[in-house]
Amino acid sequence: MNIEKVVFSFFIVLALTLNFGFFLGELDNPLHHNVYELFAVIVVNLIATVLKFGERSQMGAVLLATSLVADLELIAAALVWTFAVHINGTGVTPEIMGTIISLAGGALVANIISVVLLVIEISAQRR
Amino acid sequence: MKNTALFLILRRMRAPLLALIVVYAVSVLGLVLMPGTEVDGRPQHLSFFHAFYIMTYTATTTGFGELPAPFSDAQRLWVTVSLYISVIAWLYAIGALIALLRDAALRQLIQQNRFAAQVRRLNGPFFIVCGYGDTGSVVVRSMIERDLGAVVIDVNQDSLNELMLENLPVHVPALCADARLPGNLSLAGLNHPHCRGVLALCRDDQANLKIAITARLLSPGLMVICRAQSHDTEANMESFGTDAVINPFDTFADRLALALHSPDMHLIHEWLTAMPGTPLPERLNPPHGAWVLCGYGRFGKAVERYLEFEGAPMTIVESDPEKTRAPRDVIVGRGTEAVTLRAAHVEKAVGIVAGTDDDANNLSIIVTARELNPKLFLVARQNERENDAVFEAARLDLVMQRARAISRRILALITVPLLTDFLRLARHQKTDWAQGLIEHLRPVLGGVAPDLWTVSASAEEAPALEEWLRAGNALPLLHLLQHPHDRQERLHCLPLMLQRGREEHLLPPEDFPLQPGDKILFCGRTGEAARQRRALHNRIVLHYLVSGERQAEGTVWRWFARHTG
C-alpha cells in the first residue's frame, strides 16, 4: 500500500462527494445549499488539483485538466454568490441560487470524470 | 523533453502550494466562525468574502486594519494566530520557489531547452562545432563570414563566455555540455534537416573519436571532420569513414616540406587557403642543407618524417631521449644553451626548428641559435595563443600554430570541397606549371587573398545556365568570365578546376565547352562571384554574354521589339 496513493485518491473522492452534497437538494432553494459546504468543496478541489501537479503521463494530464475545470466552475459559483450578497445586495434569491447550483453541477461532472479516470487507471494496472 | 522544466517546477511546488491552501482554508474558516461584535444582542459573523479579503491582506503582511467593521476580541485572537501561520506559509512557499529557480539542475534544464529551441529555428545550412578553443573560434568566425551557420558545444563555460564576447554578426547557439554524450549532439541538431556536418575539435583525441563515432552512427549522411594529435586515433577515426582527420603537426610539417620541395607550389597553397581579403602571403624560400630539430615530441617526429622524405639531413636535439624514443645519434639537451646547439653544428646548419611544447624554451632556442648563426631559417612551434605578440616580435620565418594550421584546412573542406581536390592534383604538377599559374593569378588577384567558390551547372544553383545547356546549345567556359555589364571586360577570376563526373580538368581553357552537371572551382576577387551569378540565374544576361545582343525583357517589350524590329 502506498500512502501517497491513499491521500491522492482520498482527496479526489472527497472532492466529488462534497461537490455532490452541495449539489443535492432543490435546484433553486437557498435553504438546501450551505455556504460552508461550498467553501469546503473549493478548498478540497484546490488541494486535489495541486496533488495532480507534475504527473507527466497522459492520464495525469487529463486528470489535472478535469480538476482545473472543476476549480474554475466552483470559483465562478463563489464569485456569483459574493456578487449577490455584497455587491448587488440582492441576497441569494432563487435565480441566483439556480446559477450557483448549475455551475456546481458542471464542476460535479468534471469531478465524476476525474474519479472514473482514476478507477480506469487502477484497473488497468491490475491487469 | 520539452516540458520537463515546467513539470519539475510544478512537482517541486506541490508541498508549498498545499501548505498555502490549507493555511488559508483554516484561517478563513476560523475567521468566519469567530463571533464578531454584537448588534441587537446577536454576534455578527464575517462572510467568507470578507474573511478571505482580510486574510489576503494579513497573510501578505499588508495589514489594512480592521475592515469592514471593528473586530471583536475573539476575531482579533484568531487574526493573530492566522497571521503567524499564514506568513510562515508564505515565506515557505516563496523560499521554495526561489530555491527552485536557483537550482543548478533546473537552470541547466532551462538552458538546454532554450538551446534546443534556437537550434530548431535555424533555417540555413550549419555545422556542429564541438570544442570552442583556438581552432574552434577561428573556424566559427570564418564560417559565419561565409554565411554558414554554427552550433557550438563545449564542456568549458569559460570558452563559451569568450564566444559570447566575440561579437559575431549572427547569433551562434552554444551549449555548455559534454559533446561525447549522444543526447547532447542530438540536441545540437544532429538530425536537423539543415545540419551539414560535425567538426570535432576538442583538445582530447578520445573525445573527438567518440564524437565522430556518434555522428557517423546516428546520422550517417553527415560530413565528419576530426582533429587528431596521435596517429593511433587518426587511424581509428579513418577506419569508420570519417571524412577528414586533420593532424595539426602533420599538416604543418607537410607544408614545411612542400615549401622546401617546391616554393612555388607552396605559394599557391598559401594563396588559395589564406583568409579572403587579407594581403597575399609572401613566397617562402627555405634553404637546402642541414637542419637542426629541437624537441622530438609529436611535432618533432612529424617534421622529421616529412623533411627526411625531402632528403634534408637533420640533427635532433632532445632533453629526454628515453621518453620520446629518439634515435641513438640524438644530442641530449634542451637546445636553449649554446653548448647543445654547437654540438648539433648549428653554425653549419641552414635552418632550425624549435618544436618543444614550451613557448619560452622555443623562443630561447631561436634567440640563441640566431646569435650563433644569423643566417638560419627560423621555424618555431607556438603552443599558446596568448604569446602571439612575442612570436611576432621574434621575426621568425615560419611559426607553427595549431589553430592556424588546421582551421584553414577545415574551412576549405567545408566551404569549397573542390579546393582540396584541386590542391591534391596540383601537387603532382611540375614546377613550371606552378610558376605559370602564379604569373596567371598575380594580376587577377591584385595583391589580396582570393575568394573561392564553386559553380555547378545544376537546375537549383544555376537555372539559366542549366536550361541553356539542356537545350543543346554550346557554351564555352569563356562566357562565365565575362562581365555581365560589358562582355568585352573580364571578371577578375580564374577557373581552377572543372569536375565532370569522375573526370577532373585542371585549369580548363577558355574554350572548354560546358555540360550540364559540371562543377567548376573559381578563385577571384571579392564580389566577382556575385557578378558571375547574374549570368547563371538570368537567361537574358546569359544570352547577352553569348551573343552580344541585349534581349528585351518582359512580354510587352519583347512584342515591341518584334514589331519595330
CA atoms of B318 and B294, how far apart (whole Å): 6
Provide the angle, in degrees to the nearest 10, between the axes of the packed helices B263-273 and B248-261. 130
B68: closest chain A residue by CA: A86
What was the pLDDT predicted at A127?
54
Residue located via cell numbers 585542371? B506
pLDDT of residue A126: 62
Which of A14, A39, A85 to mutate: most B Cβ within 10 Å?
A39
C-alpha A51/C-alpha A45 separation (Å) is 10
| C-alpha span between B242 and B199 (Å, rounded) | 10
Nearest chain A CA: its distance from B190 CA (Å):
26
Please identify which residue in the block is written with the cell numbers 553569348. B546
Q: pLDDT (tens digit, 9 = 90+) per residue, B75-119?
A: 999 999 999 999 999 999 999 989 988 888 888 888 888 999 999
Helices and strands, counts by H and E, chain B: 24, 18
Whether residue B109 lies within 8 A of chain A, CB to CB, comes out as no
Measured distance CA(B268)–CA(B258) in Å, rounded: 11
For residues B555 and A121, the model is more confident at A121
Report CB contact under 8 Å: B11, A50.
no
| pLDDT at residue B153, rounded to an integer | 93
The whole-number average pLDDT for the span B51-74 is: 87
Average pLDDT over residues B275-294: 86
Average pLDDT over residues A51-79: 90
What DSSP line would sit under B440-454, residue for residue?
Answer: HHHHHHTTBPPEEEE
Interchain pair B21, A50: CB under 8 A: yes
pLDDT single digits (tens) B14-62: 999 999 999 999 999 999 999 988 888 888 889 999 999 999 998 888 8
Q: Is A105's pLDDT higher than 90?
A: yes
Per-residue pLDDT, B78: 93
pLDDT of residue B339: 87
Question: Nearest chain B Cα to A45, which residue?
Answer: B21
Contact between B11 and A46 using a beta-carbon 8 Å cutoff: no
Surface of B (24-63) touching A: CB under 8 A: 25, 28-29, 32, 47-50
In degrees and rounded to multiples of 5, residue B386 shows phi and psi of -65, -20
At B430-469, the pLDDT tens digits run 888 988 899 888 888 888 888 888 888 888 888 888 888 8
In sequence order, the 6+-apart residues with CB closer than 8 A to the CB of B387 are B359
Q: Which residue of B has its CA nearest to A41?
A: B25
What per-residue string of b and e applies to B104-138 under the rule 16 or more CB within 10 Å gives b?
Answer: eebeebbebbebbebbeebeebbbbbbbbbbbbbb
Amino acid present at B372: L
* Helix runs in B146-283, H state only: 157-165, 182-187, 205-218, 231-239, 248-261, 263-273
Residue B144: its pLDDT value, please? Answer: 87
Question: What's the pTM value of the predicted model, to 2 decimals?
Answer: 0.71
Confidence of residue B1 (pLDDT cuts 50, 70, 90): very low
> Does residue B548 carry a pLDDT above 90?
no
Q: Dig out the grid coordinates for B437 from the structure.
A: 599559374
| pLDDT recorded at residue B310 | 83
Contacts of B113 (CB under 8 A, 6+ apart): B2, B4, B5
Least confident of B4-13, B261-270, B497-506, B530-539: B4-13
With 80 as the cut, is the pLDDT of residue B552 above it? no
pLDDT tens digit sequence for B352-392: 999 888 899 999 999 999 988 888 899 999 988 888 889 88
In A, which residues are within 8 Å of B32 by CB distance? 36, 39
Question: ipTM strictly over 0.85?
Answer: yes
Q: Which three cell numbers stand for residue B504?
A: 577532373
Asked if pLDDT for residue B406 goes beyond 70, the answer is: yes
Question: What pLDDT sits at residue B3?
Answer: 65
A 91-120 residues with CB below 8 A of B? none
What pLDDT sits at residue B565?
58
Give the lowest-confidence range in A34-43, A97-106, B502-511. Answer: B502-511
Q: Quote the distance between the C-alpha of residue B470 and its chain's center.
A: 38
**Do B48 and A78 count as a contact with CB atoms less than 8 A apart?**
yes
**Residue B399: pLDDT over 60:** yes
**Order of strands across the sheet with B149-154?**
B174-176, B149-154, B126-130, B195-200, B223-227, B244-246
Cell of A6: 491513499
Give the nearest partner residue to B29 out of A39, A53, A54, using CB atoms. A39
Q: With an 8 Å Cβ cutoff, are B10 and A54 in contact?
A: yes
> How many separate helices (H) and strands (E) can be counted in chain A?
4, 0
Higher pLDDT, B29 or B273: B29
* B224 grid coordinates: 565528419
Give me chain A's average pLDDT, please. Answer: 90
- Inter-chain CB proximity B47 and A43 less than 8 Å: no
In terms of Cβ atoms closer than 10 Å to its own Cβ (0-12, 13-18, 19+), residue B27 is buried
Q: Do B47 and A86 count as a contact with CB atoms less than 8 A apart?
A: yes
DSSP B66: S
Pairing of the two strands B331-332 and B291-294 = unpaired
Q: Does A51 touch chain B (CB under 8 A)?
A: yes
Q: Which of B82-86, B369-373, B401-405, B524-528 has the least mean pLDDT?
A: B401-405
pLDDT for B2: 53
